[in-house]
Structure 1
Amino acid sequence: MPISQKFQTNSQHIELISVAKSIFTYSITDVNEYKEIFSKWLDLNIISTKSFKNNKWTLIDKYNNRRNLVFDIKDSKLNTTLKCFALSIIEQEFSINHIQQVVSSVHEVIEITHGFNIAYLTALEDYIGKHNYAKRNNLANFTIQFFSFTSIDFSEEFKDVCAPFLNSIQRSRELPNYQHILFFDEKMNFFLEEGSLFERKKYFPIVLWWKLTTIIPLRPIEFLTLQRDCVVKKTETFFQITLPRKKQRATLRRDIDITDTLQINKETYELIQEFHDYSSHSAKNNYLFTYDYYKEHKEFFGSESLKETEFLPRRQLDSLLDQFYSNVLIKKYSYSGSEKLTLGDTRHFAFCNMMLQGFNMLSIARIGGHSRLDKQQHYWGHLKYFSESWVYNFAEKHRRLDHLNKTMPDAYFTEDIRRIINSYKLNKSEEFDNALPVDYGYCVDNNYPNNCSGDCRHCLHYRFHPKKENLNEAINWLTDFSQTLSRKIDEQISLLTYISQTVNYDLTSLTYSITDQEELSYTANELNRLLHQKAMIDSKLPNEVKGFKNE
């Protein structure tokens, strides 16, 4: 709670407010402390209710305005906790309007979620999404504040749901730097090739989290509660996964039936089967990820207390991800950055990847577990950042002669593009005796002009090799086209967004216009073509060129 401290300096009297961050634990000591705070504000005539036990409190401000706080939650422990939370806000001397707004918002969320029952996570997302902008922000913001006040089971999952609805500065979730995303993906694949058997077993839940949730937009709690028999092989080429979602029928005309069964590729199926082999002897329940498995591969034990759970709790998977950073990325692959991915980030990657691949909003909603199309609105705001970051980092990989990572989304990389990048070289010292001179460089295509695309700047056969006296002119030639492509990419993203939002959807039959989908797919393919062209051009530009320098 806030603690006021006064300090005297030579020049002036300063009053500092420090906040001692402590979690309310519902202990007798904690409750008694807040009862004393209640008595304090009762004596000051701010609270007119005579007893802490009353389920209706009346607040009075200096202008004699009155506001009521209602505490009628059936769970007495949660009801008392909300009262103490209210007192912590009163103690900070907010207006009675604000205090009432905070308490009523949290009370509302508690009712919708039946006391923060994890089974009602989707119900909360649906409920917040149905309100106007201001109401959404209040419900999300004040609920997150409540979780900072006290410890609630599955609080991280509820915060993940609330975060996208925050105000204009925060509501579009801040995505990690895309360069780090690529670094993580690249080193994950190195780890699978180089890690010891013990390391592979220990961190395999992190491997599966990365491989699965970057493709299917799963919430962390959905990933952790996957059943052991969640995947099935139907044929040699057809595999399915069943997700821990309630298969819901739409209740309103604008709602969507939620599905719990999706098709997966063979690689994902085999990864889960591999984990079965690692965990078969320790599996004691029907969940894929268990605490027993985590404990078996734990290298040290602290003083943590853990409730008995049938599946691996989120904080243990968070801990395992931290250990993966410390023991693998930092020690083995020399990661020196401060940025770290969180378990909830990959759901956002998956949504953005699907949008850029040309999935329509209905398909995205059903795969992502959304019962309403409008829940995707805040993800569209990420596409420009996602595209710009991808171009920059792909250009840098291009520049460093790295081989293309085949685990990136298929829409980004065709086999032809993989062949292009893997065969591409920067030719600072290469001899061009047998090459065809072209604008500011050479064409090394032995089959010219059959493969000529008409513009050398983004051609796989083009080698940028200007003469010293023409260097500035050559760089301008590249940057002008790069900037033109930037404008076209922005236009294409806007077009992709518009088409996706105007597709003719029939929510009753869960169908959509084939013609509209074809237009959407064409637009997505064109966007990806432009992204590749810009990446190839930018890879030829010196880092020092303004606008392309790595900040």
Structure 2
Amino acid sequence: MKVKRIIDSGSTRIEVIEKIQFDPSKLDYYVDLFQSLRKSGYLIAEEFNSIFWYIKDEIEASPQKLAFDIEVYRELNLAFKAYTLIIRMSGVSKKTIAQNINLLKKIILESNAFRNIEAFEVYLHSLTKTTAYTTALALRSFFEFYPLPESDSCLQKLSMLEHPKNSNRSLPPFNQVFEFDDIINEFTKNEPEASPQKQYFYIVELWWYLTNIVPMRPNEFLRMRKNCIEYRNDGSYWMEIPRSKSHSQTLEKEIWYQWIQINYETVNIVNQYIENLNQHISDSLYLFPIELYDKFVKACNSKRIYTDVKFLNTTQLNDRIDRFYQEIVEQRYGVYGHRKIRGGDTRHFAIINMFLQGYNMLSISRMAGQTRIESPENYYSHMGRLVETYTYRLASLRMKEVNVEKQLSAGFFGLRRKVYDIGKIYDEEELIHMRDVEFGKCKDPHFPNNCIEDCRHCPNYIFFPPVNQFNDGITWLEDQSKAIAQKMNQQVKKMEIIFGKSTELNAEEVQNELKQASRNLQHYMDQRINIDMQLLENFIHTEASR
């Protein structure tokens, strides 16, 4: 197995590629590696022969459990331990190690340690394409480290597996996301500060408001320090975000901190939380200390495996989100059947939102704390769907005032989203005194000073056709709605093309082109909302009169 390592030589860092294979006669070498990792705190276990090991890093708070429990295949079990130590030293993440070990154990047990090739093949084909392919990658790596007599036969079967198609990250339906956003805003506004649910779900609120604005992975959000807000002499507000390299060829994970400018509303949200936190835990370095979790969750009978955990982990965050869905979304608001948003989804919402605002790839990458945005097409594919859902949702709420550009610049989600009034229904007496326009009425008292080219795009327009022109009027609205939808789609496609040009250069003309496309998109969204409001309002009234 070829392993990359980084060796520090004075002021120079040298990348070395070594070919390593397992040799059972050199077990002492692996025991020494084990002791080294154990001493440095990266591995927790009583001894090399222990069944359970726990590996940790600087990124996630809690250690990852590994079970070496296939003693019926003793030499394979030893090889697993040696393999774990080698790939851990080369920088493979603890999550990937645990996944690979579990996949390898399953196929070993199913195939009698690779001796039953037919059972080996049957098991592979019982897996999903993605799991089979991941298992194949783990097996190829392991066979390079520990060649077996059966390796060639197994590799031949692996070569026949289909490569799974690259699929975009699956996000919850956006109409459910917007509904969740409404509920969490309502909860923040109305829940008493001292209530147990407010205390328990404070972390969910902060996760939603911060990570929908600033692209952050859950482990970065959870690692935030309590003193993360800075006020500068020019009156600006800044927030410190912990960042970590997603890939590394060394055991140590580099943690660095990035300062991002934020607005007063965000500062206020964080400060309210810190004030509340200090009433319970005043000496914490972190925003989400582990003591906060222990305060609300009864400790298990077994003692904590690793007592130096300082902050909550991703699993604990997702547990809180699940509880919020159960106790608030479902039990309090009666909204069931939602596909739950996960801790890492909001980073994608934030990046998609920045795309739609016209930020170029380089700016988005910097904001996300990365040298580049991985697979930008994953984000492009969601843009059109989000825009379509967003315009429909605002129209369906019959907003009296709709300013899409302000909504976009503030972020699609979170407290900064403006609360709109629901437009009142006009009775016929009022309509009689309004000015007649095509298929309807104009409610603007300053007509024609504020007139625009097409009444269908005007917020002062009320669709109210004569009975004998009703069907023609509906067709007139629907045709324009479809035409604008096509223009919106064209702008999204145009932005995708421009993003491709802006991955390497931050050229001023590219940035200007992006901003203009973003403004055009927002303009068309605004127009379509006005038209669809008329269609939906008419539909509601028609259904109500039946």
TM-score by length of 1: 0.67
Residue pair 2:229, 2:240 contacting (<8 A) in 1 also: yes
Say which is worse superposed, 529-538 or 96-105, in terms of deviation. Answer: 96-105
Distance 1:457 1:180 in 2: 28
Q: Secondary structure at the match of 1:228?
A: coil
Residue pair 2:107, 2:120 contacting (<8 A) in 1 also: no
| Residue 526 of structure 2 is aligned to residue 532 of structure 1 | yes
Give the aligned partner of residue 73 of structure 1.
86
Distance 2:203 2:84 in 1: 41
Change (3 A) 1:531 1:403: closer
| Residue 120 of structure 2 is aligned to residue 93 of structure 1 | yes
Give the aligned partner of residue 498 of structure 2.
499
Give the aligned partner of residue 381 of structure 1.
381
Residue-by-residue CA offset, 1:386-436 (whole Å, 9 max, x unaligned):
11111211111126x7999999532689xxxx9996474443546223311
Give the aligned partner of residue 121 of structure 1.
none
Q: Secondary structure at the match of 1:398?
A: coil
Q: How many residues align?
A: 427
Distance 1:431 1:205 in 2: 49
Residue pair 1:457, 1:537 contacting (<8 A) in 2 also: yes
Map 1:253-332 onto structure 2 (within 5 A).
260-280=258-278, 281-298=280-297, 306-307=304-305, 308=307, 309-332=309-332
Say which is worse superposed, 170-179 or 434-443, in terms of deviation. Answer: 170-179
Q: Secondary structure at the match of 2:408?
A: coil
Q: Which amino acid aligns with 1:344?
A: G
Give the aligned partner of residue 344 of structure 2.
344
Q: Secondary structure at the match of 1:310?
A: coil
Residue pair 1:240, 1:261 contacting (<8 A) in 2 also: yes
Change (3 A) 1:262 1:467: same
Map 1:453-492 onto structure 2 (within 5 A).
453-492=452-491
Using the TM superposition, give the Cα deviation of residue 294 of structure 1 relative to its aligned residue in structure 2, in angstroms: 2.7
Residue-by-residue CA offset, 1:489-535 (whole Å, 9 max, x unaligned):
111111111112213844xxxxx112221111011011011012112
Residue-by-residue CA offset, 1:121-170 (whole Å, 9 max, x unaligned):
xxxxxxxxxxxxxxxxx9xx99xxxxxxxxxxxxxxxxxxxxxxx944x6
> Which structure carries more relative contact order (alpha carbon 8 Å, separation 6+)?
2
Distance 1:249 1:326 in 2: 36
Give the aligned partner of residue 18 of structure 2.
none
Say which is worse superposed, 380-389 or 226-235, in terms of deviation. Answer: 226-235
Change (3 A) 1:220 1:246: closer
Using the TM superposition, give the Cα deviation of residue 285 of structure 1 relative to its aligned residue in structure 2, in angstroms: 3.5
Give the aligned partner of residue 105 of structure 2.
84
Residue pair 1:70, 1:104 contacting (<8 A) in 2 also: no
Give the aligned partner of residue 58 of structure 2.
none
Unaligned 5+ runs, structure 1: 1-24, 40-50, 57-68, 111-137, 143-165, 252-257, 507-511
Using the TM superposition, give the Cα deviation of residue 27 of structure 1 relative to its aligned residue in structure 2, in angstroms: 5.9
Using the TM superposition, give the Cα deviation of residue 83 of structure 1 relative to its aligned residue in structure 2, in angstroms: 5.0
Distance 1:428 1:108 in 2: 73
Change (3 A) 1:245 1:474: same
Residue pair 1:246, 1:260 contacting (<8 A) in 2 also: no
Residue pair 1:440, 1:474 contacting (<8 A) in 2 also: yes
Q: Secondary structure at the match of 2:441?
A: strand
Change (3 A) 1:172 1:470: same
| Residue 212 of structure 2 is aligned to residue 185 of structure 1 | no
Change (3 A) 1:449 1:227: same
Residue pair 1:357, 1:411 contacting (<8 A) in 2 also: no
| Residue 198 of structure 2 is aligned to residue 171 of structure 1 | no
Distance 2:454 2:132 in 1: 64
Q: Secondary structure at the match of 2:261?
A: strand
Q: Secondary structure at the match of 1:381?
A: helix
TM-score by length of 2: 0.68
Q: Secondary structure at the match of 1:243?
A: strand
Q: Percent identity?
A: 26
Q: Secondary structure at the match of 2:397?
A: helix
Say which is worse superposed, 326-335 or 515-524, in terms of deviation. Answer: 326-335
What's the RMSD between the two structures over aligned residues? Answer: 4.3
Residue pair 1:250, 1:371 contacting (<8 A) in 2 also: no
The one of 46, 62, 76 equivalent to 1:52 is: 76
Residue-by-residue CA offset, 1:326-356 (whole Å, 9 max, x unaligned):
2222232222333221111111111110000
Give the aligned partner of residue 227 of structure 2.
229
Using the TM superposition, give the Cα deviation of residue 234 of structure 1 relative to its aligned residue in structure 2, in angstroms: 1.2
Distance 2:296 2:404 in 1: 29
Change (3 A) 1:403 1:337: farther
